[in-house]
Structure 1
Amino acid sequence: MAIQIGFETLVEDLPGPRWQALFARLWPGYRAWFLRSGAVARPSYLESRRALRQHMPELVPTWQRLVELAGGGDVEARFLSLWCPPPYIVGCSQAVWIDPAGKEEPALLRNYDFAPALLEGSWLATRWQGQRVAAMGDCIWGALDGQNEAGVAASLSFGGSTVSGTGFGIPLVLRYVLEIAQSTAEAVALLQRVPVSMPYSITVLDRRADWATVFVGPDRPAEVTRRKAVTNFQHRIEWPEHARATHAAERLERLQKQVDGPGTLEDAIGALLQPPLYQSAYLRGYGTLYGVAYRPASGRMELLWPGVRWPQTLATFAEGRRDIVYTPGAEAPPDPDDAALAQLLTESRS
């Protein structure tokens, strides 16, 4: 059973009618997710506004404009703050590739693994804070990965633990990094001070080839590492069912071997589009929906699928659409011990 998903660009410097139309299309699904446990389970408008003002003050004017475009409602404003949202669990592989021969510019590579029906598929090019940011959208104004005009590229992956706490949803944190940071060092400083709601790994690469992978979580201080490759656990596997189902250890081993080896960037991209890094478990919620290669030194980027590539640059980001067909692979029956995993994946963004 083939599944088709459309990817479309949204080019709009400041929030306006194009973002408003995107919100109108996506809001019913996000509203159901946000209110899954009832409105009282989510922080109030005043709590949400206070958190944004305290931790991400630069984004407050944009948030206020987006709330206005969304109709100015209480629930809409609380959702768009992404303060203490419901659980958000994804797969993903990401890595920094440095040319061992010193001829090609460094690149940030990643695969995004999730349920096809829950992907926005919106590639946004904006100037909300003055500089151009191109990012794959999530939560209507958050980001899964992206690159800015200052030469900073960043991506996220789930950190492999079900711990949740007081903090922001990670897509808005990544958006904040891309809007504000002018270097990897600045991105790291932001990640060290902004609270997050669940554990994630954020990999950052800048145009000077400085990189870092930052492990963040609500129950521990942010930890800055020099990990070139990560999948869905940090130092050790904390959620065995998730790691086993998503092949987290196997993906990490393959990715690490690729970025440590003598191959070219094209070799690394090829590895992203082959198993075990490229997954086909779409019916269970963690198939690979896209790959991407960011080259912050030149401002180039490219969405990737087997047989399909979509290049863009920050300077000439163009409107367009790609319709991608996914074919679910043969999947083993769920392990009875994976009931908790199945339940959490169902609740995450469904």
Structure 2
Amino acid sequence: MSTPTSPMAHIPSTFHLASIEEDEPGAKWQALFDAHWPPYQTWFLSEGERARPGYMTSLRNLRAYMPELLSTYDKLVDLAGGGDLAARFLSFYRPPPYLLGCSQAVWAGPEPALIRNYDYSPILFEWALLKTRWLRPVIAISDCLWGVLDGINDAGLAVSLAFGGRKTTGDGFGVPLVLRYILETCDNVREACFVLRRVPVHMTYNLTLLDRAGIFVTAYLAPDRKPRFVRSPVSTNHQDRIEWPAYARMSASIERRAFLEERLADPSETESRFVNRFLEPPIHRIRYERAFGTLYTAVYRPTEARVEYHWPGHRVLQQSFASFEEGLETIHLGEATIGKVGVGHF
């Protein structure tokens, strides 16, 4: 997630994606918390401590909307030291606002796939891929230490998120925790849609969901509107219309969506070529100085319960429930600088 604005700082050219397997929260998760808690704490308090809900409010809402997660939440809070601030942060109820990019699409067919680019600042990313068995087996890219940017569970349900292109905020949860809840408790798209109808989110998001039966949906979520579910295989960073023109121009949301829709409508397009589109302009982005560069391309394959991670000019990292290898994957994104981008604020 985002942290407050910072002065000019150099972005390293090399990063390491850590693949971590830990069935129950333990020493490995605690090490992840220790490494990332200082910048998360700064971000969490960026609008002042009183702007964030208190512990009892956070706990009450978590119990009301996602009670199945309470046991795991309690374990994580204990590993984080049991402090009030960490407990409030880990509830992920009404966190500060943040921005991110992302392009998402479903390749339909006998072997459907959910393909997505995650566009963000590399120095604000956790660089952690977790395989867990908290309520069930889940493989997911981590965010906010137990939330999910995209992932898949053992039933073959895959989901990913993108910012929805509106400034509006409200009462609700940060969507990465909602994605975690979906993967921990749902078997298919239908069940996930029931969750999204009742769990409030604090910002506008676009979710893409795909299950083993090939059922897919794009979910348009917002804190001030009822969720909408559309049979669109593509989503970027707007919903039915452009509601934040400056952001849409900066992110090229319209152009990216139109490009992917055109490729899917082309009868000569192949799956491998379509995946490669995500590694090239205009879908692959290099605007790291604006916290809007592509950090990875993920290809989730529900029928095989596995995922691939791609980078331009790099070998493909493959992980699955049957074969998950812990370790560090060295990623070269190229040299860049980051200025006062304000990614945590509107």
Q: Do both proteins adopt the same fold according to a TM-score greater than 0.5, normalized to the shorter chain? A: yes
Write the letter of the residue equivalent to 1:133: V
- Does the aligned pair in 1 maintain the 2:94–2:173 contact within 8 Å? yes
**Identity between Structure 1 and Structure 2 (%):** 46
The answer to whether structure 1 residue 119 and structure 2 residue 125 are counterparts is yes
The CA RMSD over aligned residues, in Å, is 1.7
Could you tell me how far 1:324 is from its partner in structure 2?
Answer: 1.1
Could you tell me how far 1:330 is from its partner in structure 2?
Answer: 11
How far apart, in 2, do the equivalents of 1:187 and 1:238 lie? 26
How far apart, in 2, do the equivalents of 1:279 and 1:328 lie? 14
Could you tell me how far 1:260 is from its partner in structure 2?
Answer: 2.6
Write the letter of the residue equivalent to 2:50: V
- Does the aligned pair in 2 maintain the 1:279–1:287 contact within 8 Å? yes
Structure 2: state its 5+ residue gaps. Answer: 1-10
Could you tell me how far 1:255 is from its partner in structure 2?
Answer: 1.2
Q: In the alignment, which residue of structure 1 is the partner of 2:246?
A: 241
Q: In the alignment, which residue of structure 2 is the partner of 1:254?
A: 259
The answer to whether structure 1 residue 189 and structure 2 residue 190 are counterparts is no
Q: Which of structures 1 and 2 has the larger relative contact order (alpha carbons within 8 angstroms, sep 6+)?
A: 2
Could you tell me how far 1:115 is from its partner in structure 2?
Answer: 0.7
Q: In the alignment, which residue of structure 2 is the partner of 1:206?
A: 211
Could you tell me how far 1:328 is from its partner in structure 2?
Answer: 5.5
Pick aligned residue for 2:220 from 212, 215, 218: 215
Tell me the alpha carbon deviations over residues 150-202 of structure 1, each in whole angstroms, 9 at most, x when there is no partner: 11000000000010000000110111111111111001110111000000011
Write the letter of the residue equivalent to 2:18: E
What secondary structure is seen at the aligned counterpart in 1 of 2:303? coil
How far apart, in 2, do the equivalents of 1:5 and 1:330 lie? 15
Q: In the alignment, which residue of structure 2 is the partner of 1:324?
A: 331
The answer to whether structure 1 residue 266 and structure 2 residue 272 are counterparts is yes
Structure 1: state its 5+ residue gaps. Answer: none
Q: In the alignment, which residue of structure 2 is the partner of 1:144?
A: 149
How far apart, in 2, do the equivalents of 1:91 and 1:247 lie? 10
What secondary structure is seen at the aligned counterpart in 2 of 1:347? coil
Superposed counterparts of 1:15-26, under 5 Å: 15-26=25-36
How far apart, in 1, do the equivalents of 2:265 and 2:168 lie? 32
- Does the aligned pair in 1 maintain the 2:217–2:230 contact within 8 Å? yes
Pick aligned residue for 1:3 from 9, 13, 24: 13
Structure 1 runs of 4+ aligned residues shifted over 3 Å read 328-331
Could you tell me how far 1:147 is from its partner in structure 2?
Answer: 0.2
Q: In the alignment, which residue of structure 1 is the partner of 2:165?
A: 160
Aligned length: 334
The answer to whether structure 1 residue 173 and structure 2 residue 178 are counterparts is yes
Q: In the alignment, which residue of structure 1 is the partner of 2:43?
A: 33
Pick aligned residue for 1:87 from 93, 97, 104: 97
Pick aligned residue for 1:12 from 9, 12, 22: 22
What secondary structure is seen at the aligned counterpart in 2 of 1:15? coil
What secondary structure is seen at the aligned counterpart in 2 of 1:297? helix
The range that moved more, 22-31 or 249-258, is 249-258
- Does the aligned pair in 1 maintain the 2:13–2:336 contact within 8 Å? no
- Does the aligned pair in 1 maintain the 2:219–2:229 contact within 8 Å? yes
- Does the aligned pair in 1 maintain the 2:122–2:295 contact within 8 Å? yes
Could you tell me how far 1:257 is from its partner in structure 2?
Answer: 1.6
